[in-house]
A and B are shown apart, each in its own frame.
Chain A
């Protein structure tokens, strides 16, 4: 899995590409930990290019979410491909994660929170 990271309006945006499983999940976890260590607590995962995610990948995402919560950060997801969306719905993870249709909606959401 490839992970590219960029900063936009104070939010660390991680674009993931490929398959999210145990091995690639460990890499993702390390990246997130690195960002949290640098006090980057507003994190967004763009999953548009994630074509496959298995149960280990889901476990990794939940563990990342717990980590972000502990640091009083915020984790958002967007652009879930239909298969990923299906697995999120079946496992009801859509109740745990803040999921947006697009990155623009995510940015708007952060923006409105700042304004209010």
Chain B
């Protein structure tokens, strides 16, 4: 024991060293002891000239806590140095409930400053056990302590203090403000009569505090009483009454059962939204659907930049509900808005775009931001107005590819046959997105002239133009495109032949299938497979007699494809030929044949399939077993 005391004594001496590191080391070591003597040393270290050491000591004292620490720290609340005093108070708050008994005991201190600090600290600790002692301080001789005690009771929020605070309101004029505020924070509805009586006062500070307190308590019965103050001559009081009403409204999920003269408070409410006041924002947006007036719309448009994504969605919906009647206000706002707001407003206006609004939006084609020009192109296209065509053609030559792409798409929606030459120009754009958009527009326009031009393009020197033409003809998909697509089956380029065949398969209404039958002998295996698929799609089971020759194709994948097609077509007529595939030297062909025969329900194949069960390839064995299991169920 003596040895420990000696060591602590040495550390206490070390705390006086001019060397920072020695002092810091002493503080750390003292922190490890946690004994009363060490605590005294740490408290001394709170006065160290170095901030780092002071903070280290504070952390260690907080960790140690306890009665001795608290008592020592309370003695520092009378310290001459304000920084040391504040540090002691801060540590006491951090220690929390453990320091409360010592703090309560200190409330009898002769020094009124110490008593005031203790009350303040107790208010910050917010522990109910301090309430009776603090209530006693409401009768302190020193008015500063009475005020602090009222504030502390408000912070703690215990209803046990209510009676004492009401007494203070009645008896101590100089602490009335703090006592009213405290009642508001405690939020006990039984105090409302007292607080509502305060609404008669001539003292604007007390009146303001009483209004605020009533709002905090949040009883909807108070709204009527507050509504009388909404037209108060002093704007601050009127706005406080509205804010209190807002708090009550939020506490009651918006159900306050009365109309409010909100037009008078438009500036206040929208300023609140701009300042990101969540309560004002929520209340205001909740009221929007039944609060009309152009000043409201203009104010709404002004706060778009200040709200979060959810609120922006709500405002967008509300503006959408107002419909075309607000479109001119929106157009006016767009001109001075930031890019994100412009994009939002364009999104809103999209819902009710018409000829007139489209005309008003045309100047935006010169906007500096490509995202805005791109969105504008879409919206102009949606207007269906022929007068936007020149602007869209201008945007289709924009320096930005995304804008050009959007403009071509929009020109397509307008279905302008007069612009076919211009749209075909877009097929030469350096960007594939733009070329495809021009193609999409031409698909939309359709008609004999477009088909004729795409037919010519099938034989254009540019392979890309050939590809686009084959795709476009397939998607135009009416009777006019069938002859050019049938001719394209003889195209020198295999990918075009395949695209043409795939397109015919989609169209289906093809009377002359001879070119497709010929394509079964195409030199390119992908073309042969596409032709087989197309024939089955167009002619169904009848096509099987044509595609069966592919069961002997040189290409294993063509054989595989043909077997699957015949199985899917359900034609038993050629089941024997598929059975011969069970003897193929290619495993994948055997598997496809077993599956196809089971789909056809061809029970005669069971013995042949059964022989595959002894195959060394497990996949074949599984396919055979599954096929037999299916066939055994067939009657």
> CA separation between A91 and B384, bound complex, in Å?
15
Asked, given contacts A55-B443, A55-B444, A59-B444, whether A87 binds B478 with beta carbons under 8 Å apart, the answer is: no
Measured between beta carbons, the chain A residues less than 8 angstroms from B444 are 55, 58-59, 91
Measured between beta carbons, the chain B residues less than 8 angstroms from A22 are 478
Is the CB of A95 closer than 8 A to any CB of chain B?
yes
Q: Is the CB of A21 within 8 A of B406?
A: no
Among B251-259, B409-417, B582-590, the stretch that binds chain A is B409-417
B379 to chain A: closest CB distance in Å? 9
Asked, given contacts A55-B478, A87-B475, whether A92 binds B443 with beta carbons under 8 Å apart, the answer is: no
Measured between beta carbons, the chain A residues less than 8 angstroms from B436 are 90
Closest to B408 in A: A92
Asked, given contacts A90-B475, A95-B409, A116-B317, whether A52 binds B507 with beta carbons under 8 Å apart, the answer is: yes
Q: Is the CB of A21 within 8 A of B475?
A: no
Measured between beta carbons, the chain A residues less than 8 angstroms from B631 are none
Closest to A53 in B: B477
Q: Is the CB of A52 within 8 A of B508?
A: yes
Asked, given contacts A72-B323, A90-B439, whether A21 binds B477 with beta carbons under 8 Å apart, the answer is: yes
Interface string of B397-425 (1 = CB under 8 A from A): 00000000110011011010000000000
Asked, given contacts A55-B475, A59-B444, whether A92 binds B384 with beta carbons under 8 Å apart, the answer is: no
Output the residue of B317, B446, B508 with the most chain A CB within 10 A.
B446
Q: Is the CB of B378 within 8 A of A95?
A: yes
A73 to chain B: closest CB distance in Å? 11
Interface string of A78-116 (1 = CB under 8 A from B): 000001000100111101100000000000000001001
Is the CB of B199 closer than 8 A to any CB of chain A?
no
Which residue from B313, B323, B443 sits with its C-beta under 8 Å from A91? Answer: B443
Is the CB of A5 closer than 8 A to any CB of chain B?
no
Which A32-82 residues sit within 8 Å CB-CB of chain B? Answer: 52-56, 58-59, 62, 66, 69, 72
Q: Is the CB of B477 within 8 A of A62?
A: no
Interface size on B, residues (CB 8 A): 34
Which B299-333 residues sit within 8 Å CB-CB of chain A? Answer: 313-314, 317, 323
Measured between beta carbons, the chain A residues less than 8 angstroms from B446 are 54-56, 59
Measured between beta carbons, the chain B residues less than 8 angstroms from A113 are 317
Which B419-444 residues sit within 8 Å CB-CB of chain A? Answer: 436-437, 439-441, 443-444
> CA separation between A66 and B352, bound complex, in Å?
10
Measured between beta carbons, the chain B residues less than 8 angstroms from A90 are 436-437, 439-440, 443, 471, 475
Which residue from A56, A93, A95 sits with its C-beta under 8 Å from B478? Answer: A56
Which residue from A19, A59, A95 sits with its C-beta under 8 Å from B415? Answer: A59
Measured between beta carbons, the chain A residues less than 8 angstroms from B317 are 113, 116
Measured between beta carbons, the chain A residues less than 8 angstroms from B352 are 69
Q: Is the CB of A87 within 8 A of B413?
A: no
Q: Is the CB of A54 within 8 A of B476?
A: yes
Closest to B450 in A: A55
B233 to chain A: closest CB distance in Å? 39
Measured between beta carbons, the chain B residues less than 8 angstroms from A69 are 351-352
Could you pull out 5 A-B pairs where Cβ atoms are within 8 angstroms?
A21-B478, A54-B475, A92-B410, A92-B413, A92-B440
Q: Which 5 A-B pairs have the closest CB atoms?
A: A54-B477, A92-B409, A55-B446, A91-B440, A90-B440
Residue ranges of A at the interface with B (Cβ–Cβ < 8 Å) = 19, 21-22, 52-56, 58-59, 62, 66, 69, 72, 83, 87, 90-93, 95-96, 113, 116
Given contacts A69-B352, A87-B443, A92-B406, 19 further A-B contacts (CB under 8 A): A21-B478, A52-B477, A52-B506, A54-B478, A55-B445, A55-B477, A58-B444, A69-B351, A90-B436, A90-B437, A90-B439, A90-B471, A91-B440, A92-B412, A95-B378, A95-B406, A96-B381, A96-B382, A113-B317
Residue ranges of B at the interface with A (Cβ–Cβ < 8 Å) = 313-314, 317, 323, 351-352, 378, 381-382, 384, 405-406, 409-410, 412-413, 415, 436-437, 439-441, 443-446, 471, 475-478, 506-508
